[in-house]
Amino acid sequence: MNETQMKIAAGLERAFAQHGFAQIGVDGLREATQVSLRTLYKYCPSREAMVVTALEHRHQRYLAHLLDGLPTTPTQALDEAFERIGNWMLENAPQGCLFKSAVAAHPDSELLHQMLERHKLEVCDGLVRATGLTSHRDELLFLHEAIIHSWSIMGSRAISSAKGFGQELFRQAAQQ
């Protein structure tokens, strides 16, 4: 990705996160990317392409935030990952998951449904690799989603609850 593409992707992600997918128009998206309309359409020839570009950028940022440099001890890795989810929610997603918002705004887009699924599964796969909890893949995905969906109500208590359930997963894995 060249510098212009990165600038566009970051600007689109920021704009959709701040304004949602329905409210902001092309002029607002162009302004957020700080490129000409011609340049924006060169790299993103449709609104769906703009959404995809924003989500791809978000996906890479989230994976790096969540998984890069986690502790090598599985229990510490899971606790740290949960803390990082909370930090992400505070700093980047107080309204919830941008991928789910995109699908809600464009329910007929098969491409966005596929992106949502790929995003969640790659996050889950990263958590499995970091923790070694291969037999508890579904539970890790569930805990990740529980934090995100309960964040607006529970805040940091969602992290504490997830950590407790995470420790139970390690106990179960040790008994298998």
pTM equals 0.94
H or E stretch at 56: helix 47-67
Q: How far apart are CA 63 and CA 91, in angstroms?
A: 15
What average pLDDT does this structure show over 68-94?
Answer: 96
Tell me the domain boundaries of the chain.
Answer: 3-175
The pLDDT value given to residue 1: 80
What the block records as the tokens of 38 is: 């011609």
User: What are the backbone dihedrals phi and psi of residue 38, each rounded to the nearest 5 degrees, phi first?
Assistant: -60, -45
Instruction: Tell me the Ramachandran region of residue 20: left when phi exceeds 0, alpha when psi lies from -120 to 50, beta otherwise.
Output: left
Residue 95 banded pLDDT, cuts 50, 70, 90: confident
The pLDDT value given to residue 52: 97
In the predicted structure, residue 94 carries a pLDDT above the cut 90: no
**Tokens 């992290």, located at residue:** 159
What the block records as the tokens of 32 is: 């957020």
Residue 23 banded pLDDT, cuts 50, 70, 90: confident
Which carries the bigger pLDDT value, residue 94 or residue 41? 41
What average pLDDT does this structure show over 41-55?
Answer: 96
**Whole-number average pLDDT of the chain:** 96
Class of domain 3-175: mainly alpha
The pLDDT value given to residue 22: 87
The pLDDT value given to residue 7: 97
Query: What DSSP designation does 73 have?
Result: S
pLDDT per residue as tens digits for the range 126-175: 999 999 999 999 999 999 999 999 999 999 999 999 999 999 999 999 98
For CA atoms 80, 86, 87, 92, the dihedral sign is positive
3-class SS of residue 123: helix
